Amino acid sequence: MEPRKSHIMERGDIILMILGIIVCLSGRVVESRSGGYRPLNNKNSVEVDYTTINSCRKHSAALTDFGGVGDGKTSNTKAFKAAIDHLSQFASDGGALLLVPPGKWLTGSFNLTSHFTLFLHKDAVILASQDESEWPQVEVLPSYGRGRDAPDGRFSSLIFGTNLTDVVITGNNGTIDGQGQSWWDKFRQEKLNSTRPYLIEIMYSDHILISNLTLINSPSWFVHPIYSSTIVIQGLTILAPIDSPNTDGIDPDSCSNTRIEDSFIVSGDDCIAVKSGWDQYGIKFGMPTKQLSIRRVTCISPDSATIALGSEMSGGIEDVRAEDITAINTQSGIRIKTAVGRGGYVKGIYARRLVLKTMKYVFWMTGSYGSHPDPGFDPKALPLIDNINYKDVEADNVTYSARLEGIEGDTFKGICISNATISLTEKPKELQWNCTNVEGATSDVTPKACDLLPEKKDLECPFPEDKLPIDDLKLTSCSNVIQF
Ligand SMILES: *[C@@H]1O[C@H](CO)[C@@H](O)[C@H](O)[C@H]1NC(C)=O
Ligand SMILES: *[C@@H]1O[C@H](CO)[C@@H](O)[C@H](O)[C@H]1NC(C)=O
Ligand SMILES: *[C@@H]1O[C@H](CO)[C@@H](O)[C@H](O)[C@H]1NC(C)=O
Ligand SMILES: *[C@@H]1O[C@H](CO)[C@@H](O)[C@H](O)[C@H]1NC(C)=O
Ligand SMILES: *[C@@H]1O[C@H](CO)[C@@H](O)[C@H](O)[C@H]1NC(C)=O
Ligand SMILES: *[C@@H]1O[C@H](CO)[C@@H](O)[C@H](O)[C@H]1NC(C)=O
Ligand SMILES: *[C@@H]1O[C@H](CO)[C@@H](O)[C@H](O)[C@H]1NC(C)=O
Ligand SMILES: *[C@@H]1O[C@H](CO)[C@@H](O)[C@H](O)[C@H]1NC(C)=O
């Protein structure tokens, strides 16, 4: 931990403050030694305590220093751009923090920079603009080959970053509101030629921390780190209507060394969806998601999975560790979704301590998910599904215990399930374990599993004892005083 900065003014501060007053009187702002902007006509000051993934930020400013207006009506797209452009010059000089003060800050898409913290005050709400001209188009993802929900292209995310290092998006539980309704309506009416924006997307980056925020009503997926590594996602409340289209909570996609923890997600789609590219494009790009830890996450999603692996998994998914997961009124626990043509693999998956209440399926694997980018996929590209381990599962009010559907000629193997107690709903399905083209074993599972997963006495499914590098990553506590 770094020592807190003293707030007693030092001589240098006083000199700089006087200089500041002079400069402010001439209509400009000045930066103090500690980096805070202190324009004369601004009366509020706030102490910002934050955690960073690298070191504390030497420089700081508030959105209002760049013309931001928090009335919920004025567009702040230019203010965010001006602020971040300005603060980017400090990337190699101690980094910078941008405070979003109390208020409602309407904005279109904006881009982040390196060694940068975006900090939302607890009473700050970033409101996503509904004006399409505020959303630039960005290139389609190479591992997808086209836009995910429309072939032509895709809109940039509300908060976007590419080729960055050391980026933090955090706050005292401030809110980012995607105002997704109009996008959902247009999507349903097939009025979009481009893929809807995500709320936050970080690409080709490392050392990313996204924490302590409330994210609501994303136009589509909420948090999408892609082609990135060393990522911590912590303390998020993610809320979307349970019937909103494709509002996945957190989608680590071709990412390594990632930790997702202490989050609460209500969604119209999968709460967490682990991905790595789509069919021939994903196979060619060949970047897996690996070394992923998911802990203490609660999910509500009546029509989707708590944690989905796929369906886009063509670059491979490997070494995923999920523990202390709770789901309530959710369609399934951990679900593997894949299809002929995907190629890739899902292997080395470990889950323990799942508490599931009111579920359609506890265990679900689907080898016939379909959904291809175009007819050019390779029908010979079969996914490898192997070494899947679930233990210490407690589920109640369940309709189907398991639906495990491998692929003919491509058996899903190495499935291990131990110590799972499933209580059924009043009207359960007659066939509780429906297994085809799968291979493995079970132990201490009720109701008794299918013949393809025979009972093996004293079998205990493994969960890795070693740590991932991300578990040793040190977060630093910091404090800056900022005027706005
Ligand atoms: C999130 O907030 C909690 C409670 O205020 C705090 O203890 C924690 O350090 C914060 N985490 C991050 C990563 O900012
Ligand atoms: C953000 O960066 C991307 C990629 O460099 C670019 O295409 C996009 O236009 C930028 N967005 C904004 C709002 O400047
Ligand atoms: C970002 O990084 C990727 C992968 O390293 C590279 O292909 C691309 O050219 C970089 N883009 C920019 C704008 O630097
Ligand atoms: C953050 O705000 C959300 C929505 O208001 C609330 O449900 C959640 O409990 C808050 N989290 C914390 C840590 O205060
Ligand atoms: C989408 O494409 C169709 C056909 O090219 C065109 O008629 C329509 O105006 C486009 N819609 C938008 C919103 O760009
Ligand atoms: C079985 O799992 C339950 C939680 O679902 C746990 O309390 C119990 O200790 C586990 N039993 C063994 C033998 O590990
Ligand atoms: C049990 O699940 C059924 C749906 O299968 C649902 O209607 C009912 O409300 C649930 N009961 C409880 C106590 O949660
Ligand atoms: C069992 O699963 C197979 C493959 O998913 C499906 O076609 C079949 O209808 C299921 N049977 C029952 C009785 O649910």
Whether residue 13 is predicted with pLDDT greater than 50 in this model: the reply is no
Q: Measured from the CA of 430, which atom of ligand 8 is nearest? A: 13
Catalytic residue set: 269
Q: Measured from the CA of 434, which atom of ligand 8 is nearest? A: 1
- The answer to whether residue 351 sits within a structural domain is yes
pLDDT score at 10: 36
| Averaged pLDDT, 477-481 | 92
- The answer to whether residue 2 sits within a structural domain is no
Instruction: Please answer whether residues 255 and 231 qualify as being in contact, where contact means their C-beta atoms are separated by less than 8 angstroms.
Output: yes
pLDDT score at 8: 33
- Ligand 5 probe mutation, 186, 193, 195, most atoms within 8 A of CB: 193
- The CB of 399 under 6 Å from ligand 8? The reply is no
Separation of CA 434 and ligand 8 centre (Å) = 6
**Host domain of residue 411:** 11-483
pLDDT score at 237: 98
Q: Which residues contact 375 (CB under 8 A, 6 or more apart)?
A: none
Q: Which band of pLDDT confidence, cut at 50, 70 and 90, is reported for residue 9? A: very low
* Cα gap 474→460, rounded to integer Å: 33
Whether residue 130 is predicted with pLDDT greater than 80 in this model: the reply is yes
- The answer to whether residue 6 sits within a structural domain is no
- The answer to whether residue 127 sits within a structural domain is yes
- Ligand 3 probe mutation, 156, 163, 229, 255, most atoms within 8 A of CB: 163
- The CB of 431 under 6 Å from ligand 8? The reply is yes
CATH no. for residue 419? 2.160.20.10
Average pLDDT, the chain: 92
Ligand closest to CA 432 = 8
Q: What is the DSSP string of 189-228?
A: TT--SEEPPPSEEEES-EEEEEEEEEEE--SS-SEEEES-
Residues with CB under 6 A from ligand 6: 392, 394, 419
CB count within 10 Å of CB 321 equals 21
User: What is the β-pairing status of strands 174-177 and 206-216?
Assistant: parallel
pLDDT score at 41: 52
- The answer to whether residue 293 sits within a structural domain is yes
pLDDT score at 42: 52
* Cα gap 108→441, rounded to integer Å: 51
Ligand closest to CA 189 = 5
| Averaged pLDDT, 293-316 | 98
Q: Among 34-48, 107-121, 402-416, which is the least confidently predicted range?
A: 34-48
- The answer to whether residue 254 sits within a structural domain is yes
| Averaged pLDDT, 35-39 | 39
Core vs surface per residue 405-423: b (16+ CB within 10 A) or e = bbbeeebbbbbbbbbbebe
CB count within 10 Å of CB 82 equals 16
Q: Which band of pLDDT confidence, cut at 50, 70 and 90, is reported for residue 44? A: confident
Q: Which of 299, 313, 287, 331 is nearest to 142 (CA)?
A: 287
Residues with CB under 6 A from ligand 3: 163, 204
pLDDT score at 45: 86
- The answer to whether residue 3 sits within a structural domain is no
Whether residue 23 is predicted with pLDDT greater than 80 in this model: the reply is no
| Averaged pLDDT, 230-238 | 98
Separation of CA 193 and ligand 5 centre (Å) = 6
Tens digits of residue pLDDT in 348-376: 999 999 999 999 999 999 999 999 999 99
Domain count, the chain: 1
Q: Which band of pLDDT confidence, cut at 50, 70 and 90, is reported for residue 230? A: very high
Ligand closest to CA 132 = 5
- The answer to whether residue 157 sits within a structural domain is yes
